[in-house]
A and B are shown apart, each in its own frame.
Chain A
Amino acid sequence: AQKITQTQPGMFVQEKEAVTLDCTYDTSDPSYGLFWYKQPSSGEMIFLIYQGSYDQQNATEGRYSLNFQKARKSANLVISASQLGDSAMYFCAMRENTGRRALTFGSGTRLQVQP
């Protein structure tokens, strides 16, 4: 069964610094997708970035990049130049290509950006 682990319940970072949020996953399916979402206190889940299991390069989207290490089954999110508005919960999620299409989410990391 697929599983997502986020070991950092909370993180602090200074404004303008970079921060890495950890995510490890477990799956026996060779084809899968990894997603990161941001959830502000308002509750809406905002899609940030996607990485496919067969993608050769790490995904990047503006200030977000994904450090994908397939052999280690890790997909860490890197946020560069943190801003106060980045303070939120961050969820790593995975979907396998076969079987059920549901996203499996990790427990999340609460990021607080300090001025």
Chain B
Amino acid sequence: KAGVTQTPRYLIKTRGQQVTLSCSPISGHRSVSWYQQTPGQGLQFLFEYFSETQRNKGNFPGRFSGRQFSNSRSEMNVSTLELGDSALYLCASSLVSQGAQDTQYFGPGTRLTVL
């Protein structure tokens, strides 16, 4: 079974631009979560989608948004990019959206650099 895929793997943007990242979950997985990883803040939760609905959201400004499609694929968008948005963005998928034991499987990440 194919793992979580993320595109693109690398991205370079300039301040003020916007960017869209894509994530395809493991087949059959309906929950997709997004995380931001930076050297200073570590791994931080952005949001989670299940059945095309945002179920949870982390403490990020409204410039960060996402959506999920009927095939469970998800996109996240960052508008008006800032230098501090440079990070590794990780997508994770899991079977369902309940229970502490539902394991999240991660993709390879998209490394975003904002100049």
Contact = CB atoms under 8 A, between A and B. Distances in A.
Contacts of A101: 31, 33, 48, 55-56, 97-98, 102
B43 to A, nearest CB: 4
Contacts of B23: none
Contacts of B31: 101
Interface string A43-69: 111110010110000000000000000
Interface string B69-108: 0000000000000000000101010000111111111111
B58 interface: yes
B25 interface: no
B70 to A, nearest CB: 21
B103 A50 contact: yes
A100 B100 contact: no
Interface stretch (A14-22, A28-36, A70-78, A79-87): A28-36
Contacts of A110: none
Interface string A78-115: 00000000000001010111001111111110000000
Contacts, number: 64
Contact of B43 (A52, A53, A91): A91
Contact of B100 (A37, A97, A106, A107): A97
**Interface magnitude class on chain A:** 20 to 34
A106 B43 CA distance: 8
Interface string B26-50: 0000010101000000110100100
B111 interface: yes
A102 B109 contact: no
A32 B99 CA distance: 8
Residue of B43, B97, B106 most packed against chain A (CB within 10 A) = B43
Contacts of A93: 43
B42 A108 contact: yes
Interface of A: 31-33, 35, 37, 42-47, 50, 52-53, 91, 93, 95-97, 100-108
